[in-house]
């Protein structure tokens, strides 16, 4: 029961980190990109991947672009891949985070973000309560 509360708390923190990443990525720079939204002028295909060390288990994930996030609960196993989605032209940032339970204090969880098939960012968490978030700004 206590572990379930820890995972729920971690998931809430993950969602808050994703939203904070969006808020801090918005800026008022004066570049003249004229693309109408501050992000790139083209859409991008995005996939998030997560891998936990053996004996660990992924529990929940959240991913998306800007303030458009999808939450996935009830996961299990050591790997997870988001469905491919399109970040539209003008999107500013993509965020993906995963939480889970480590088998021991040396357990790890790696989250990667792929943009148009290319690995752009990677983040790793460790311990018995696993959490990792990767984001990429256009």
What angle is formed at CA 52 by the lines to CA 137 and CA 6, rounded to 5 degrees? 85
pLDDT (tens digit per residue) in 14-72: 665 655 555 444 444 444 343 444 566 899 999 999 999 999 999 999 999 999 999 99
In the 8-state DSSP scheme, what is residue 117? T
In the chain, what are the domain boundaries? 2-25+41-137
pLDDT (tens digit per residue) in 107-137: 999 999 999 999 999 999 999 999 999 999 9
Dist CA 137 CA 122 (whole Å): 13
Dist CA 99 CA 61 (whole Å): 6
């Amino acid at each position: 029961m206590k572990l379930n509360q820890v995972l729920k708390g971690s998931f809430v923190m993950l969602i808050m980190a994703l939203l904070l990443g969006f808020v801090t990525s918005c800026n008022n720079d004066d570049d003249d990109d004229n693309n109408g939204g501050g992000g790139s002028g083209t859409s991008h295909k995005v996939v998030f991947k997560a891998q936990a060390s053996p004996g660990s288990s992924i529990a929940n994930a959240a991913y998306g672009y800007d303030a458009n996030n999808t939450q996935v609960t009830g996961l299990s196993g050591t790997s997870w891949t988001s469905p491919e989605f399109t970040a539209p032209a003008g999107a500013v940032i993509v965020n993906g985070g995963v939480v889970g339970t480590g088998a021991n204090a040396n357990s790890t969880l790696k989250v990667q973000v792929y943009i148009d098939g290319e690995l752009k960012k990677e983040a790793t968490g460790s311990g018995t309560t696993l959490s990792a978030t990767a984001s990429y700004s256009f």
